[in-house]
A and B are shown apart, each in its own frame.
Chain A
Amino acid sequence: MKTKDDITMVAPCGLLCSDCGVHKVKDDPSLREVLIKKVNWKGVPCPGCRTIKGKSQFISDTCATYACVTEREYDFCYECPEFPCAMLNPAADRAGDLPHNIKVFNLCCIKEQGLAAWLQKAPGIKQRYFSGKMALGKGPQLV
């Protein structure tokens, strides 16, 4: 399925590249230090997953998820009959530094509520993910 929406800055796995520090650092040098610390950033801003065709500077090969989605000719993982597969399995490992645990939530939002509605919410979802406090039964809350 090829959507008519502009998905240039939304990765197939559901991450919003335009809200990623490694993208935003091109206009915001204050992000440099935290990126170096958290993801061992080498100083090159990323234009976005789809623009670089999944060849992330943090991965030695093409991103396996990107390669899988494009080979199957989907725009997003949720279009796949295997969604959500083990590549999207959440992980506590590096949970405070990387956004992998947001992917399936984002993909479900895009699927159920549409891209435009999700785009409005996406920065808030990410902010609550990294800065929110978990309130049992209610999910993350900003304090």
Chain B
Amino acid sequence: MKDKKALTSPCGIDCFNCEIHEDNLTKEVAAVLHGKYGWPIEEIACKGCRRQDGKHIHLPQGCATLDCVKAKGVQFCSDCNDFPCSYLAPVADLAAIRPQNLKVYNLCRIKKVGLERWIEEEAGLTRKRYFTGKFVMGKGQGD
């Protein structure tokens, strides 16, 4: 796996754990996405948000959040005076298949424990909890 620091997007998404990242993409997943969205097979593998400059077959015009971060000269949204703005607002729509609701939580954790430790110890677990964990009222996914 390549430099995971460069593979963490400004909005707090762990590209290195994403199923369409070039190191993770399987033929099966590519076939499913091709069938579901019509994306050309050869354009599905992604190098990660920062390396693709926010552009991918599912976001050909580029990403407003990445453009904003670049314009402001910050590394992560959490470094911005307007954090957390509406670009990072949570939404139930597509919650089961897209990671948007992880952004602010991840950014807070990165700020707290540092990017390196978050990459090694937390990013994968947080994502797993998000997509496959059971939500318990009052406890979330705490012990």
On A, residues with C-beta under 8 Å from B are 54, 56, 58-59, 62-66, 83-96, 98, 100-102, 104-105, 108-109, 112, 125, 128-130, 132-134, 136-140
Contacts and interface: CB of A to CB of B under 8 A. Distances in A.
11 contacts: A84-B109, A94-B135, A104-B108, A112-B83, A130-B92, A132-B91, A137-B63, A137-B64, A138-B65, A139-B86, A139-B91
B27 to A, nearest CB: 24
A82 to B, nearest CB: 8
Nearest to B128: A89
A98 B90 CA distance: 12
A98 B139 CA distance: 13
B129 A95 contact: no
B23 to A, nearest CB: 22
Contacts, number: 139
B75 interface: no
B71 interface: no
Contacts of B101: 90, 92, 95, 101
Interface string B49-72: 000001000110011111000000
Contacts of A89: 105, 126, 129-130, 133, 140-142
A77 to B, nearest CB: 11
B58 to A, nearest CB: 7
B33 interface: no
B92 A96 contact: yes
Contact of B130 (A92, A128, A136): A92
Given A98-B135, A101-B92, A138-B64, A87 B140 contact: yes
Contacts of A92: 95-96, 101, 130-131
Nearest 3 CB-CB pairings of A with B: A63-B138, A140-B91, A137-B63
A95 B97 CA distance: 11
B51 to A, nearest CB: 16
Given A89-B140, A95-B95, A139 B108 contact: no
Contacts of B84: 105, 108-109, 112
A63 B130 CA distance: 20
